[in-house]
Chain A
Amino acid sequence: MPIVSGSGQTQNNHQLNKGVWTESGAPAEAPFNVIGKRVPLKDAYRKVTGEGVYADDMKFPGMLHCRILRATTPHAKIVSIDTSKAEALPGVRAVVTGRDAENRFGVLPVSQDEVAMASDKVIYNGEPVAAVAADTEEIAAEAIWLIDVRYEPLQEFLKPRDSLKDVAPELQLHEKVEKKHPNTNIHKAVDQEFGDVEAAFKEAGAIVSAEFKFDGISHGFTEPHAVIAHWDADDRLQLYTPQQVPHYTHRALAKVLELPMHQIQVIRTMVGGGFGGKSDPFQHEMIAALLSMKTRRPVKVTMDREETFLTGRGRHPTESKLGMAFSKDGKLLALDSDVIIDGGAYGSFGVVSAYYNGVLSNGPYRIPAFRYHGKRIYSNRIPSGAMRGHGSVNPRYCTETLVDMAAVELGIDPCELRMRNFLESNTLTPFHKFRITSNGVREGLAEAMKRSDWKNKWGKLPYGHGIGVGCAWYISGSALPIHWNKLPQSTVHLKIDLDGGIAVHSLAADIGQGSDTVLAQCVAEVLGVDMDRIHVKSTTTDTAPIDLGSYSSRVTFMAGNAARAAAEEIRHKLADAAARLTGQRGEYFDFVNEELVCRSKPDVRVGFMEALHEAQADVGALIASGSYQSPPLGSTFKGSNAGLSPSYSFSAFIAEVKVDPETGFVQPLKVWAAHDCGKALNPLSVEGQIEGSVHMGLGQALSEQLRYRNGQLLNANFLDYKIPTPFDTPEIEVIIVESHDPEGPFGAKECGEGALAPVIPAIGNAIYDAVGVRMFEVPMTPDRILKAIEKKQREGK
């Protein structure tokens, strides 16, 4: 039975462990020492003092500054590039163009379709074309305008449906497109059908369907992109970059620069927010490296905010058509969806996005018949990619809206209808065989209903005031690695020397979500030591074992398990040492408050340092390695790997809003956010992740949109791209639902991404409850709401 707790609840367990232990004797379940405590982030004090070092804060002797020249047209042949005037400008040290590095790269091995800079043609307005390294940023900025690029315009693909058509080969944006549609600009098509969808719709007691449209949105992290490359005196490339995924950048650099990977060190700086927007290997990383190799000097790229928007990788603009069939008593019978997502100029994570937009609709409800046709297209717009809740957010809005419509049609309370259809715990989804372990969605929804006084509000509030619900689920890490190999998905190394400090080496990237802290907690828990002893070294590829990095909400689950495994190895050694010192062979020792306590004779104790020094006799520093690899999961059909995860989180949100029918303006009043994250390893961080997700979801729901005219982004700044301010953000009441996952570290699942998706439909459904209009376009801006209200009034007459 999951434990439901509210914001601000703490547990302090200093007593000896009594309960369930792992094989090494470490606690597997509560009571814990540091797990479940509200622990400030390991790097919080560096951040609040300004001591934390981000890429743009770094300086090197002799460092050059780079500016990038970008395409000024969405689609054109490059007829010529003349850099001679730029090269002649005093203070300019090097100029590079696409000819300097033609090897293609991309985050997915199947979509190697990016180049450092465009050389034959440009495919979006903002694409890098050339770059300059100069003594100062001003000189570099002046020099790029001296580069003369001649373009010959090509037909532009700015509307998703244009990309579905057959075109001449020279109008295909990339050489490799979907095999099933070889003459188009379709990047990836996914077609899946399971169960008898047609029959389900025939038998249905209620059918709901609608067409939806979503604008593209951007991550809006506060730190603009920045990178420093340094080709050093040892002929090695040192790349300082705020990467969520240093490992993929490492691979891509090696490919583009034609260097062995060991000749490159990627050093992750502090990351000023990522949300998926810093998880691709990037052109500016390649450009900085090329310029540094050319000049043998450190080269820094710092983008301005507009360039950061243009670099893109945000959530796909989406057009979709969905239908759902229900029985008369409210049992979900079938889901049929047809989705086009606009991938923009590059592949990025898009093959995954194309699958996720369909397969991640197989929860949190049981779907007995499922059909999905999804197409990701290339266009001459800013590249789309992975953004928090990758691939699940827009389809979730659609399904949650349809469930709400069905509830109205069937005369069943929307929460009740959801309760009737939730997946059970410890089950497999019917077709994809997604393994559901623990599932606290029912408890979460019940608690959110109770706290929001749902029963007295839904359908009962005055006109202009409404309440709505949205539920969701999300993967706790993709079980499918991007690169097919036999390596574990996460590896963690520990080293403890004479000083008693515990170095935790991992390439899991702390991007502000607190991954360093969670790894430290896992190690501290197993070894029963203070968090202060633990120093997480997660920045450099020379010393950190490979971890696939911070995406797909995987770090707590996968790197956390690896950290725990490594710590258990050390625990064995320390327990042996304690047994030697005390003569208590064959006894278990509990590790609590820096002491090793004999379980059967609690007065027999050895200090942590004493045990450590005994264990180090003849071997020196203790070292250990732990790793995590997903178990074999899922079905066997082609494409069945997409959406697989060792575990899934669940959420149930309720939102209350006021809508001004005169202006269409929506004021969110409160959000009750129940999220099942398994065991909350650090409730302070869990709340922070959920509150942040709610805030970001509210932005997509109500105000955030990337607006284009003729392929040019119109609102590449924080004034016109409207992220909710404190005044736009209502109170958020977090309800942590703790269901114990059998495989997650100490029972944990994800919480960083899954809590975003349910906000948007909860708001949309609340708007319906308030003013009786269904919103099929997101964001639900005042003009769109007003239009919908006017349409309803016209039709009413």
Chain B
Amino acid sequence: MAKQLLKLKVNGRDVVVAVEPYHTLAQVLRNELNLTGTKVGCDMGTCGCCTVHIDGKAKLSCLTLALECQGTSVHTIESLNEYQMHPLQKAFAECGGSQCGYCTPGFIMKSAELLAKNPDPTREEIKAALSGNLCRCTGFMKIYDAVEQAASELRKKDAPQPTPIKV
């Protein structure tokens, strides 16, 4: 099979990249575009480490073929701290929501989708949103704390708003 041209937006920039038809979005982001913040923990959709946003929806980039993303807009963890640290990133660091850090980008991207839809989630809603993400270090408690802290930060009217991720 020959490589094919994939045109898409990644973190707001137009990108054209030649990809193998069997390459996943995760592979292209990491290997071709050097966006290694997106992690691959299982490569079969069971851990959530590779979560990115495709047209504003949180998706597993290891289960998405790169060519499926033709013409889409993809956001990765690297898009969250342009100009300033995203409140979610700050909260995950401050609350101890990240230990080894390998699952963290996936959790943050999934949480960003949740907070865009639901700015004031309950703990049960946070649990439900994050139930497809696996963390082996924290026991999840401090991740919930982080999402709650970020949500309350984002709800403040005068708070500087992070780079928008449109849903």
Q: Which residues of A contact B (CB under 8 A)?
A: 38, 40-41, 43-54, 56-57, 59, 138, 219-224, 270-275, 304-305, 511-514, 684-685, 687-688, 691-696, 717-719, 723, 725-727, 729, 731-732
Most-contacted residue by chain B among A221, A270, A272 (CB, 10 A)? A272
Give, as a whole number of angstroms, the nearest-CB distance from A556 to chain B.
15
Q: How far is the CA of A270 from the CA of B128 in the complex (A)?
A: 29
Residue of B nearest to A729 (CB): B140
Q: Does B71 contact A (CB under 8 A)?
A: no
Residues facing A in B78-120 (CB within 8 A) are 78, 80-81, 85, 88-90, 92-96, 98-105, 108
Chain B contact residues: over half helix, strand or loop, or mixed? loop
Q: How far is the CA of A270 from the CA of B101 in the complex (A)?
A: 9
Q: Which of A38, A48, A219, A688 contacts B104 (CB 8 A)?
A: A48
Give, as a whole number of angstroms, the nearest-CB distance from A301 to chain B.
14
Residues facing A in B44-89 (CB within 8 A) are 44, 46-47, 49, 76-78, 80-81, 85, 88-89
Q: How far is the CA of A271 from the CA of B39 in the complex (A)?
A: 13
Q: How far is the CA of A163 from the CA of B39 in the complex (A)?
A: 41
Q: A40-B93, A49-B78 in contact; A222/B139 too (CB < 8 A)?
A: no
Interface string of B110-153 (1 = CB under 8 A from A): 00000000000000000110111111111111100000000000
**A719 contacts which chain B residues (CB < 8 A)?**
44, 46
Q: List 28 A-B contacts (CB under 8 A).
A: A38-B96, A45-B93, A46-B101, A47-B92, A48-B90, A48-B98, A48-B104, A50-B76, A50-B77, A54-B39, A56-B36, A219-B136, A221-B102, A222-B100, A222-B103, A224-B41, A272-B101, A272-B102, A305-B41, A688-B138, A692-B137, A692-B138, A692-B139, A695-B136, A695-B140, A726-B128, A729-B139, A731-B141
Q: Does B30 contact A (CB under 8 A)?
A: yes
Give, as a whole number of angstroms, the nearest-CB distance from A686 to chain B.
10
**A684 contacts which chain B residues (CB < 8 A)?**
95-96, 142
Q: Is the CB of A687 within 8 A of B142?
A: yes
Q: Which of B20, B35, B38, B46 contacts A717 (CB 8 A)?
A: B46
**A514 contacts which chain B residues (CB < 8 A)?**
99
Q: Is the CB of B36 within 8 A of A718?
A: no
Q: How far is the CA of A57 from the CA of B29 in the complex (A)?
A: 11
Q: Does B25 contact A (CB under 8 A)?
A: no
Most-contacted residue by chain A among B42, B100, B103, B127 (CB, 10 A)? B100
Given contacts A50-B35, A50-B78, A688-B137, 9 further A-B contacts (CB under 8 A): A40-B93, A43-B101, A48-B105, A138-B20, A222-B102, A223-B102, A511-B100, A691-B138, A726-B127
Q: How far is the CA of A723 from the CA of B39 in the complex (A)?
A: 19
Q: Does B162 contact A (CB under 8 A)?
A: no
Give, as a whole number of angstroms, the nearest-CB distance from A509 to chain B.
11
Q: Is the CB of A688 within 8 A of B96?
A: yes
**B140 contacts which chain A residues (CB < 8 A)?**
691, 695, 726, 729
Q: How far is the CA of A105 from the CA of B81 in the complex (A)?
A: 45
Give, as a whole number of angstroms, the nearest-CB distance from B69 to chain A.
19
**B37 contacts which chain A residues (CB < 8 A)?**
49-51
Q: Is the CB of B134 within 8 A of A718?
A: yes
Q: Which residues of B contact A (CB under 8 A)?
A: 20, 30, 34-44, 46-47, 49, 76-78, 80-81, 85, 88-90, 92-96, 98-105, 108, 127-128, 130-142
Q: How far is the CA of A723 from the CA of B80 in the complex (A)?
A: 29
**B42 contacts which chain A residues (CB < 8 A)?**
224, 305, 717-718
Q: How far is the CA of A51 from the CA of B38 in the complex (A)?
A: 10
Q: A512-B99, A691-B139 in contact; A725/B77 too (CB < 8 A)?
A: no
Q: Which of B44, B95, B100 contacts A221 (CB 8 A)?
A: B100
Residue of B nearest to A47 (CB): B101
**A725 contacts which chain B residues (CB < 8 A)?**
131-132, 134
Most-contacted residue by chain B among A44, A275, A693 (CB, 10 A)? A44
Q: How far is the CA of A731 from the CA of B141 in the complex (A)?
A: 8
Give, as a whole number of angstroms, the nearest-CB distance from A241 to chain B.
15
**A44 contacts which chain B residues (CB < 8 A)?**
92-94, 98, 101
Residue of B nearest to A270 (CB): B101
Q: Is the CB of A45 within 8 A of B89?
A: yes
Give, as a whole number of angstroms, the nearest-CB distance from A699 to chain B.
9
Residue of B nearest to A514 (CB): B99
**B105 contacts which chain A residues (CB < 8 A)?**
48, 50
Q: Which of B20, B40, B134, B142 contacts A691 (CB 8 A)?
A: B142
Q: How many contacting A-B pairs (Cβ < 8 A)?
A: 172
Q: A694-B139, A695-B140 in contact; A305/B43 too (CB < 8 A)?
A: yes
Q: Which of B30, B85, B101, B136 contacts A696 (CB 8 A)?
A: B136
Q: Is the CB of A53 within 8 A of B36?
A: yes
Q: A222-B49, A305-B43, A717-B42 in contact; A695/B98 too (CB < 8 A)?
A: no
Give, as a whole number of angstroms, the nearest-CB distance from B55 to chain A.
20
**B136 contacts which chain A residues (CB < 8 A)?**
219-222, 273, 275, 692, 695-696, 723
**B108 contacts which chain A residues (CB < 8 A)?**
48
Q: Is the CB of B142 within 8 A of A41?
A: no
Residue of B nearest to A726 (CB): B127
Give, as a whole number of angstroms, the nearest-CB distance from A497 to chain B.
28
Q: How far is the CA of A224 from the CA of B104 in the complex (A)?
A: 15
Q: Is the CB of A222 within 8 A of B135?
A: yes
Q: Is the CB of B100 within 8 A of A271?
A: yes
Q: How far is the CA of A717 from the CA of B140 in the complex (A)?
A: 21
Q: Is the CB of B99 within 8 A of A692?
A: yes
**B137 contacts which chain A residues (CB < 8 A)?**
273, 512, 688, 692
**B76 contacts which chain A residues (CB < 8 A)?**
50
Give, as a whole number of angstroms, the nearest-CB distance from A702 to chain B.
14
Q: How far is the CA of A23 from the CA of B87 in the complex (A)?
A: 44
Q: Is the CB of A718 within 8 A of B131?
A: no
Q: Is the CB of B96 within 8 A of A54?
A: no
Most-contacted residue by chain A among B35, B41, B99, B130 (CB, 10 A)? B99
Q: How far is the CA of A266 from the CA of B88 in the complex (A)?
A: 34
Q: Which of B43, B46, B100 contacts A223 (CB 8 A)?
A: B100
Most-contacted residue by chain B among A38, A47, A514, A719 (CB, 10 A)? A47
**A223 contacts which chain B residues (CB < 8 A)?**
39, 41, 100, 102
Residue of A nearest to B44 (CB): A717
Q: How far is the CA of A717 from the CA of B46 in the complex (A)?
A: 8
Q: A513-B99, A727-B131 in contact; A41/B93 too (CB < 8 A)?
A: yes
**B30 contacts which chain A residues (CB < 8 A)?**
57
Q: How far is the CA of A513 from the CA of B98 in the complex (A)?
A: 10
Q: How far is the CA of A514 from the CA of B90 in the complex (A)?
A: 17
Q: A41-B99, A222-B49, A688-B96 in contact; A732/B141 too (CB < 8 A)?
A: yes
Most-contacted residue by chain B among A48, A50, A272, A687 (CB, 10 A)? A48
Q: How far is the CA of A479 from the CA of B152 in the complex (A)?
A: 47
| 5 smallest beta-carbon distances between A and B, as pairs | A50-B37, A512-B100, A47-B101, A272-B102, A695-B139
